[in-house]
């Protein structure tokens, strides 16, 4: 059985992963946690995604013998910028014994490419300055952001407490008519159970952080799956390509 390992920061919406595992059926999604501040601020996010913390996560995942590993944190990866984030996953791969590695930020870029998306709207939970770094990261990956909103939520714990109705409202009110899709970039937000309702309402693809993170791990492991309830991204098989920023 294919096993994909995920390093998840603190606790918020990690229950999206066993939900996905149940839908996938024959793939194991192993989640281990690292801890630091959950503040959405640049200095704290740089510390959270440091090589030392991710190496700790890789060590915790080692007994699961994963076929691929993903840093399941968007802000703790894009805050490094494209080159820094590529170095981050390269070091993570090294710490994990050379298995393929990536992060949620690269997962968004790869998922957008897989769906042929070029113009997107971003419905971010972060403060504005952090959300703008995500916009810059996407632009470097060839994804144009035509609209960006920031809910200005300071911590991941607060995001994890959002009700399904609040998440749906966030997405519905921050779509843009020129966007090919809406992106929701926070792994602290529970979204997997809502994907069908959101896409049906908007009439376009929606990419969420935990969704693309799971998809990226499967892609790296060469274990793509079709799961109708996980949105447009999971309705066709992914084609394995290079890890991380390559």
Q: What is the CATH number of the domain that holds 202?
A: 3.40.50.12500
Do 167 and 224 fall into the same domain?
A: no
Query: What digits encode the pLDDT tens for the residues 5-62?
Result: 999 999 999 999 999 999 998 999 999 999 987 768 888 998 999 999 999 999 999 9
Residue 227 has pLDDT above 90, yes or no: yes
Q: Cβ distance 206 to 175 under 8 Å?
A: no
**pTM for this model (two decimals):** 0.94
Residues 100 and 126 in one domain: no
Which residues neighbour 209 within 8 Å (Cβ) at sequence distance 6 or greater? Answer: 72, 74, 104, 108, 184, 185, 186, 187, 189, 191
Q: Which residues pair with 123 in a beta bridge?
A: 149
Residue 109: is its pLDDT beyond 80? Answer: yes
Label residue 161 by pLDDT band (50, 70, 90): confident
- The parent domain of residue 226 ranges over 2-107+210-234
pLDDT at residue 242 in the model? 47
| Number of domains within the chain | 2
- Residue 75 in any domain: the answer is yes
Helix, strand and coil content of the chain, in percent to the nearest 5, comes to: 45, 20, 35
244 within some domain? no
CB atoms within 10 A of CB 241: 11
Q: Are residues 156 and 76 in the same domain?
A: no
Look at residue 17 and tell me if it is in a domain. yes
């Amino acid at each position: 059985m294919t096993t994909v390992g995920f390093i998840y920061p603190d606790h918020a919406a990690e229950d999206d992963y066993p939900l996905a595992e149940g839908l996938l059926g024959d793939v194991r999604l192993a989640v281990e946690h690292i801890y630091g501040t959950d503040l959405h601020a640049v200095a704290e996010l740089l510390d959270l995604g440091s090589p030392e913390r991710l190496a700790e996560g890789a060590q915790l995942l080692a007994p699961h013998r994963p076929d691929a590993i993903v840093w399941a944190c968007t802000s703790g990866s894009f805050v490094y910028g494209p080159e820094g984030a590529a170095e981050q996953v390269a070091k993570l791969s090294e710490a994990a014994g050379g298995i393929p590695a990536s992060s949620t930020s690269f997962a968004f870029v790869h998922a957008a490419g897989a769906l042929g998306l070029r113009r997107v709207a971003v419905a971010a939970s972060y403060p504005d300055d952090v959300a703008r770094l995500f916009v810059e990261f996407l632009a470097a990956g060839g994804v144009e952001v035509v609209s960006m909103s920031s809910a200005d939520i300071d911590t991941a714990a607060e995001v994890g407490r959002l009700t399904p109705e609040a998440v749906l409202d966030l997405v519905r009110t921050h779509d843009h008519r020129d966007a090919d899709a809406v992106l929701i970039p926070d792994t602290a937000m529970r979204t997997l159970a809502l994907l069908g309702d959101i896409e049906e309402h908007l009439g376009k693809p929606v990419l969420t952080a935990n969704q693309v993170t799971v998809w990226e791990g499967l892609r790296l492991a060469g274990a793509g799956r079709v799961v109708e309830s996980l949105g447009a991204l999971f309705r066709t098989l992914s084609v394995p390509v290079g890890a991380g920023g390559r």
